[in-house]
Structure 1
Amino acid sequence: MSNHERVLLAMLQHPPDPNEPLPPANRRATIFGTTLSFLILSSIAVLFRLYVRVRIVREPGWDDVCILVAATLDIIASIFVCLAVDYGGLGHHMLYLKPEAAENYLLYFYVAHAIYITNTAVIKASLLLQFLRIFKAGYMRWTCLGLLALVSLWGLGFSIVAWFPCFPVRGYWQRTTEARCYGFGFSNVDDFVNIYKAHSASNMAFDVAIFLTPLVLFGRPNLKPKSLLAMAGVFAFGGIVVAASIWRLYAISSNQAATYPYYDFTWWSPPMIILSCLEIDLAIMCASMPIFWPIIEKSLTTIFVSYEVKVTEERIDDDYGLAYELEHSRSRREGSMRSTSGTSVEGLTKDEDENKAPKYSVGIDPLSEEANMRFQTSIQSKPRPHWAI
């Protein structure tokens, strides 16, 4: 008896109620509404990020390439999830599906799941590459490089298992085909459940490790309250991503990867699929927010706040790193702007002299001709009139 026949026999021995009402997570409106809404938000975040990096600060990097790849894969996976709902019976009892609908579901799920496995590694790599802009030297840089190597090997290993669960691969969705399957290919129940738990648990562990890595920035002396608040906001958003991965692990454990209390992959899978989509979308937004949010913030500041500015030119030979990407600077090829609102470590702190007024810095338009020069600006702000907003 083939594995497919054993699963079918187990379904027949414990047939579900065909008139059972759909749980909220199994409804088409829930799956479409949640998946597509967060997909749109994450896509907008990526577009903002790329616009800022390419057109404004002109400092694109490999982290941007990775996030673009992740966003593209996310769109493809979401399309296949929606196809699984309309043409694969996702959300309904698998036993009562037509054979072609069940095969469609296995095909669509195969593609969406394999993309998810790959995407978890791509997004983590993007975040670590972004952290390398911050930590230019020292043990934190080596920590990021070590995590990047581990994540790359982890992602490669699980991606191979996800993309090639059977030999030939079509044996995954054409269950009547003679194929040798393992892991995600459902060779046996224990291996099938364990590999889902192994990936979900290791994914959560890497999420926590990457989430905790930049917390060392909170130990910087004289950290500006504004930077502290912004960093706390981004880290809190990252905490939601970690919570989603924990919730997904719990969902997989509670129904044993859609095999408990009985085999019914299309009925028990929707919560796990929705959480997978949310995890990827939230991770993409979390990685993009520090890049584009300062531009929005500065635009609002320009509207509501005015300053008298005195500008002096200063040649700076130092090469400052990106301490935190809530602000931006020019590419290292053109030099660095020393700015307390910039992306260097010193940009997180306010430099005050007891005998002098505090100095602040502002950036220049990177699209202007003066962008090739390095400036340090000293702003002396006057009290705003009582009528000012």
Structure 2
Amino acid sequence: MDTVDNGGRSQAILIVTAIFLGISLVAVCLRCFVRTRLVRAFGWDDIVMVVAMVLNLAFAICGIIGAKNGMGRKLAHFVTSPPTIGAENFRRALLCWWLGQVFYVTTCVVAKISIIITLLRITVDRVHAWILYAALYLATAVGLLFFFFTIFQCHPVNLFWNRLSERGTCVDTQILIDIAYVYSVGTAVTDLTIALLPIALIWNLRMKRRTKAAVAGILGIGCLASAAVIVRIPFVKHYQDKEFLYNTYQISIWSNVEAGLGITAGSLTTLRPLGRFFKGGSSGSHSHSQNRTSYPLSSSMERGGYRANSKRGDQERGHKIWAGSEVDDYHGVTTTIMSSHRPNPSSSEEDLNPKDDRWRMRD
């Protein structure tokens, strides 16, 4: 047994899992604080992101318990353990791996749905909306494909972790590897789309360049999640290795990085009001002038172009979502994003929350 097998890879899984769980959990907690207490605009995208965080927590627990029981170790580790203990640890490690992959794919897909809902609320161009819907369908399709193949790769299902005692059949490993490649490529394309498209969405906003660069940089963090998927691809081939638990530790690590970064990137875009909060600002102290500035976070199709609905009541709430308050680089500015078609002149101020109840919660 080489020295690397003395818990080194298991320890790496534990450390990476704990770090990215902590980062994503803090980001989501701050998001909930901002959206419920500061801007008071908790919407469906926030609810979906909280669900993603719960799934990510389950994914992390699987990784931690799995690493404690042998994920990242060679078969020799289980053989040299007392027979009963070694067999039980092997079973638990495989079960945690299987459950972890199930929670991994659901975490990533749900997080992407939350981010796409948010982006759809600031999209006023029809082409951008189509791109986002295509990304949504692609992420869901490849996610469901990977999800069902992961669950039903063996018959009976528990044969995957009870392979020492159960009898049954499993899908050819090469098929699983091909499915994993399809999922990885589809996920990388989706991540890059939802990471880079927001830069185009805010490009024409009348912000200071410094603020625009900061917002674009935060939104661009999603590119790192895409990078994690790409880095993960070369290790997919290890699904068929005899030393499965030992050689797939990189898959576990990069899966945690991807899930954690995706949730964090999706939450950081909502945290701008925290700056004013910690400086002693109050979202309520400037409510008298918030209606002078608005930013589109909702959209609908109209004959004259792809533009947001106008509604005075939602205007103030929408401004809070994007800018937090008027004490910002947007002070006193009425912003209109122009699409390829000229919008109705009567709607120079667009509201940030859609009229459609499907996308937001009512107070």
Shift of 1:333: 7.9
Aligned mate of 2:322, from 317, 335, 343:
343
Within the candidate set 197, 218, 224, 2:181 is matched to 197
Q: Structure 1: any 5+ residue segments left out of the alignment?
A: 1-17, 304-308, 324-330, 352-357, 362-389
**Per-residue displacement from partner, 1:229-264 (whole Å, max 9, x unpaired)?**
222321342222222111111333xxx2244xx520
Correspondence 1:167-246 to 2 at 5 A: 167-175=155-163, 176-182=165-171, 187=172, 189-220=173-204, 222-246=206-230
Aligned to 1:100: 88
Q: Which of the pair has the greater relative contact order for Cα pairs under 8 Å at 6+ separation? A: 2
> Which residue, 72, 89, 99 being the options, matches 1:91?
72
CA contact (8 A) 1:128 1:148 kept: yes
Q: 1:340 to 1:157 in 2, by over 3 A?
A: closer
Preserved contact between residue 24 and residue 30 of structure 1 (Cα < 8 Å): no
Deviates more, 1:106-115 or 1:235-244: 235-244
Work out whether residues 339 and 360 of structure 1, in 8 Å CA contact, stay in contact via their aligned partners in 2.
no
Query: 1:128/1:235 Cα in 2 relative to 1: closer, same or farther (>3 Å)?
Result: same
Preserved CA contact (<8 Å) 2:63 2:100 = yes
Q: Are the counterparts in 2 of residues 25 and 271 from structure 1 also a CA contact under 8 Å?
A: no
Where structure 2 has 5 or more consecutive residues not aligned to the other structure, the ranges are 79-85, 299-309, 335-363
Match 1:267 to one of 224, 243, 246: 246
Does residue 120 of structure 2 align to residue 138 of structure 1?
A: no
Distance 1:340 1:225, change over 3 A: farther
Tell me the amino acid that sits aligned with residue 15 of structure 2. Answer: G
- Partner Cα distance (1:41, 1:287) in 2: 12
Q: Hey, what's the Cα distance between the residues in 1 that align with 2:219 and 2:195?
A: 7
Contact 1:26 1:270 in 2 (8 A): no
Q: How many Å apart are 1:149 and its aligned residue?
A: 2.8
**CA–CA distance in 2 between the matches of 1:123 and 1:241?**
11
Quote how far apart the aligned CAs of 1:23 are.
6.8
Residue pair 1:49, 1:289 contacting (<8 A) in 2 also: yes
After the TM superposition, which of the residue ranges 167-176 and 279-288 deviates more from structure 2? 167-176
Instruction: Give the TM-score of the pair, scaled to structure 1.
Output: 0.70
* Alpha-carbon separation, structure 2, partners of 1:312 and 1:90: 56
| Code of the aligned partner of 1:68 | V
Q: In the TM superposition, what whole-angstrom CA distance separates every residue of 1:237-294 from its partner, at most 9, and x where no partner exists?
A: 2222222111111333xxx2244xx5201211112101111111111110001112x1
Q: Indicate the RMSD between aligned Cα atoms, in angstroms.
A: 3.3
Inter-CA distance 206–23: structure 2 relative to 1 (3 Å threshold): farther
Aligned partner of 1:73 in structure 2 is 55
Q: In structure 1, what is the Cα distance between the partners aligned to 2:222 and 2:290?
A: 39
- Secondary structure of 1:335's counterpart equals helix
2:296 is the alignment partner of 1:321: yes
TM-score normalised according to structure 2 size: 0.74
Query: Paired residue for 2:43?
Result: 61
Q: 2: distance between equivalents of 1:332 and 1:298?
A: 26
Aligned to 2:232: 248
Which residue identity lines up with residue 296 of structure 2 in the other structure? Answer: G
Residue type at the aligned position of 1:81: G
Change (3 A) 1:289 1:320: closer
- In 2: Cα distance, 1:338 partner to 1:41 partner: 28
Distance 2:290 2:252 in 1: 55
Question: How far does residue 228 in structure 1 lie from its aligned partner after superposition?
Answer: 1.3
- Does the 8 A contact of 2:120 with 2:132 survive in 1? yes
Aligned length: 308
| 2:339 match | none
Greater mean alpha carbon deviation, residues 35-44 or residues 209-218: 209-218
Identity of aligned residues (%): 25
**CA shift at 1:26, angstroms?**
3.6
CA pair 246-226 structure 1, distance change in 2 beyond 3 A: same
Please say which of residues 151-160 and 23-32 is displaced more in the overlay: 23-32
Larger radius of gyration: 1
1:116 is aligned, of 93, 100, 104, to 104
CA distance in 2 between counterparts of 1:143 and 1:195 reads 24
Secondary structure at the aligned position of 1:198 is classed as: helix
The one-letter amino acid of 2:260's match is: D
| Shift of residue 320, structure 1, vs aligned partner | 5.2
Is the 8 Å Cα contact of residues 123 and 283 (structure 1) preserved in structure 2? yes
SS at match of 1:134: coil
CA contact (8 A) 2:159 2:167 kept: yes
C-alpha distance 195-145 of structure 1, shift in aligned 2 (>3 A): closer
Structure 2 counterpart of 1:116, one-letter code: Y
Does residue 64 of structure 2 align to residue 82 of structure 1? yes
Moved more, 142-151 or 282-291: 142-151
